[in-house]
Structure 1
Amino acid sequence: MAALRRPHPARFQAFDLLATMVAVVGPDGIVIFANAALEDAVGLSWRSIEGTVLRNHFADGDELQLALDGARGNHFAALRYDGHLVRHGGGLIPVHVIVAQTERAGQIIVELLPLEQQARQDREERLADHTRANKELFRNLAHEIKNPLGGIRGAAQLLEMEIEGRELREYTQVIIHEADRLQLLVDRLLAPHRHARMVGDVNIHEVCERVRSLVLAEFPRGLRVVRDYDTSIPEFRGDREQLIQAVLNIVHNAAQALAERIARGDAEIVLCTRVQRQVTIGKQRYRLALELHVIDNGPGVPESIKERVFFPLVSGRDGGTGLGLTLAQTFVQQHHGLIELDSRPGRTDFSILIPLP
């Protein structure tokens, strides 16, 4: 739509470069300009928006009208409130509305921020803070645990050499085994922060096919892994092995959560790839992004851990280490992307977003 825009004064044309939705209304509340982001959001061209009454595009139009009247009466310089924009063809878009005066008499700027986008940015900031804190925690943890572990293991080995009885040696073997297990746990915590990335051209469908073959080899019966690929997605620069590990961790978690359905023979995991346009990740706007969904028909993520599922050592499964999703999120973040979760009983969707060139 934006490519065929009607010429406007330069002060309006600049609004087309913004990711947020913007409308400029005249004294009578009629839209004299709507930017490209607003067109895309409501599903109408500028020809269908400009010249209409802006309040008619809102489910709560009376509230917008009060705000416009207040701006025209100089009761405030800017007003903020939450409303609902009506999408053409049905559906409401929750938005944060900012109504502000302009230098031209009677003209008012209305800026609309999707509430979902704002909430998502808040989640991304919290996640980034947690990732930085985890990185420092892991480094300190390694220092505090690795040296004592080596001493414990070495002492157990020396003690085993002095013991003649087989029963007593079983105790030293327990010590050695548990020391090795803890060492492996620490190594896994540090893995994404220790090794250099091997960057090259990545085909996301080669990644998906590798993961699919690995999971079906482990669960050969009772599980169906469905492909739903957009084969037009271009290659991008990234670490192929990191991405394989990230997707494998998510798919493997899904397969383990499907244990009961696998036993019944009706378990399903869907690998779905799509291209998203004009995506904001970490306050950075990207023209294109890869969207990879891993969807399963399992019981869903427990509500008690849903908000903490990417934190280290948080697991909803007995015997789980709680590291798989933490590592997956870290690997994806190193590609300037993120993983999001939408889960309810019968459908869990892990969505990976990675910017494309």
Structure 2
Amino acid sequence: MYNRTDLFKHKAIYQQQLANQLVTAVIVLDEKLTIQYLNPSAEALLGKSYRRLFNLAFDDVFPNSTIGAIRLQQVIESGQEFNDSDVSIQLGDHYTFTAEVTASATEFNQQPHILLELKQIDQQKQISAEAFQQQQWESARDLIRGLAHEIKNPLGGLRGAAQLLTKELNSEQQEYTSMIIEQADRLRNLVDRLLGPNQLPKMEVQNIHIVLEKVTQLVSFDNEKNIQVIRDYDPSIPDIAFDADKVQQAILNIVNNAIQAIEPESEITLKTRVASNQTINGQRVKLSIMLSIIDRGPGIPEDIQDTLFYPMVSGRSNGTGLGLSISQTLIHQHHGKLSCKSRPGRTEFTILLPISDETKL
């Protein structure tokens, strides 16, 4: 049987071991808001050891956090905990993450302390945002396709009636029916583009770099701006099954958009790597080909970045807004993912194509 002292010691051992095993980052601050303890998960999240962070002020470690010292001081004074599910934390100049934070008042050695629990949620937010965007893109695509079919049917009748009318008119009057037929054909071509690719991809095992070389060659044939294409390939990438024409069209649409946006004599980089543990359309994929198209142009306007792949959305006054939507459809047909990150001076489109037994067959 345990006596009372042994029981407390036994409990303390388990409590200490438990804190070290938690996935949640745990940080303890004293009443002066200096760090007194952090568990291994907190060390991993902050990228620094307990020895380096011990006794440092909260504001020195988290200088740009949306949780300030005043808010933490209120926890000690009031004894009431708070929970914030969307806290932006910046460490250094380049590393920023989002966390769910719980701060509660506690006591150690009969002195008031704050127990901070941090759970990084960037990945969950990204998955949720991508799932929402995918749903919105599919809804917009279905709406456009429905409208396109409704437009296409009467267009055929309009064109046929104009052709019949042409036979009843003299040569001077046929100019008007010819214009009707010409505009009907133009609208039909636009509607066909709105409907997007309707044929399933013809899958053949091949190397993705063959497609990139064809894209580079096509760019060189019509290169009035003298754009230089930088190739940064990973030669270890295995062959996978895909439709070369469809993937080429998807990449070419992105590259052409970049060429129109950037200044003459600029560069576009085509980069390939093998990526591990990527989330594609809500599913975790162990290995995938990551293909990046990078330019140093002005960037995509922030107000259209969330709807960039919707039909009829364009950042150019003379753009149709169909190229990227078609690219999204083509990549989606390969069970892949097309995404974009853009800021002034750098725009990067990323295509992920899964490497699996199915894509190798």
Matches within 5 A, 1:85-104: 85-86=90-91, 91-99=94-102
Q: Distance in 2 between matches of 1:173 and 1:212?
A: 40
Q: Does 1:311 align with 2:338?
A: no
CA contact (8 A) 1:58 1:83 kept: no
Q: Could you say which residue in structure 2 is the equivalent of 1:232?
A: 236
Specify the code of the residue in structure 1 equivalent to 2:324: L
Q: Distance in 2 between matches of 1:318 and 1:69?
A: 52
CA contact (8 A) 1:229 1:272 kept: yes
Matches within 5 A, 1:173-322: 173-192=178-197, 194-219=198-223, 222-258=226-262, 261=264, 266-302=265-301, 305-317=304-316, 319-322=318-321
Q: Distance in 2 between matches of 1:316 and 1:153?
A: 33
TM-score, normalising length: structure 1: 0.72
The 1:151/1:119 distance shift into structure 2, 3 A limit, reads same
The 1:60/1:148 distance shift into structure 2, 3 A limit, reads closer
Gaps of 5+ in 1: 1-7, 16-21
Q: Distance in 2 between matches of 1:234 and 1:14?
A: 38
The 1:107/1:133 distance shift into structure 2, 3 A limit, reads same
Matches within 5 A, 1:111-130: 111-113=118-120, 115=122, 117=123, 120-121=126-127, 123-130=129-136
CA-to-aligned-CA distance 1:233-258 (integer Å, 9 cap, x gap): 33344443322111111111222334
Q: Distance in 2 between matches of 1:139 and 1:151?
A: 19
Q: Could you say which residue in structure 2 is the equivalent of 1:352?
A: 351
Q: Secondary structure at the match of 2:196?
A: helix
Structure 1 position 178, deviation (Å): 1.8
Q: Does 1:23 align with 2:41?
A: no
Cα RMSD for the two superposed structures:
4.1
Q: Secondary structure at the match of 1:274?
A: strand
Specify the code of the residue in structure 2 equivalent to 1:272: K
CA contact (8 A) 1:70 1:76 kept: yes
Specify the code of the residue in structure 1 equivalent to 2:248: I
CA-to-aligned-CA distance 1:247-305 (integer Å, 9 cap, x gap): 111111222334x62xxxx1322212234444344554444443322223444435564
- Indicate which of 139, 156, 161 corresponds to 2:162: 156
Structure 1 position 215, deviation (Å): 2.0
Q: Could you say which residue in structure 1 is the equivalent of 2:177?
A: 172
Aligned residue pairs, count: 327
Q: Distance in 2 between matches of 1:64 and 1:331?
A: 50
Q: Distance in 2 between matches of 1:187 and 1:124?
A: 27
Structure 1 position 200, deviation (Å): 3.9
Q: Distance in 2 between matches of 1:84 and 1:341?
A: 20
Q: Distance in 1 between matches of 2:319 and 2:326?
A: 14
Q: Secondary structure at the match of 2:144?
A: helix
CA contact (8 A) 1:207 1:240 kept: yes
The 1:51/1:342 distance shift into structure 2, 3 A limit, reads closer
TM-score, normalising length: structure 2: 0.72
Q: Secondary structure at the match of 1:34?
A: helix
Structure 1 position 324, deviation (Å): 0.2
Q: Could you say which residue in structure 2 is the equivalent of 1:134?
A: 140
Structure 1 position 225, deviation (Å): 1.4
Specify the code of the residue in structure 2 equivalent to 1:124: E
CA-to-aligned-CA distance 1:56-103 (integer Å, 9 cap, x gap): 7544688589769959x984485546242536xx644232233388xx
Name the stretch that deviates more: 292-301 or 25-34: 25-34
CA contact (8 A) 2:341 2:348 kept: yes
Specify the code of the residue in structure 2 equivalent to 1:147: N
Name the stretch that deviates more: 77-86 or 131-140: 77-86
- Indicate which of 152, 157, 165 corresponds to 1:146: 152
The 1:237/1:108 distance shift into structure 2, 3 A limit, reads farther
Q: Distance in 1 between matches of 2:20 and 2:161?
A: 75
Q: Distance in 2 between matches of 1:50 and 1:69?
A: 27
Q: Secondary structure at the match of 1:30?
A: strand
- Indicate which of 110, 114, 126 corresponds to 2:117: 110
Specify the code of the residue in structure 1 equivalent to 2:138: R
Name the stretch that deviates more: 241-250 or 279-288: 279-288
The 1:355/1:86 distance shift into structure 2, 3 A limit, reads farther
The 1:9/1:178 distance shift into structure 2, 3 A limit, reads farther
Specify the code of the residue in structure 2 equivalent to 1:31: L
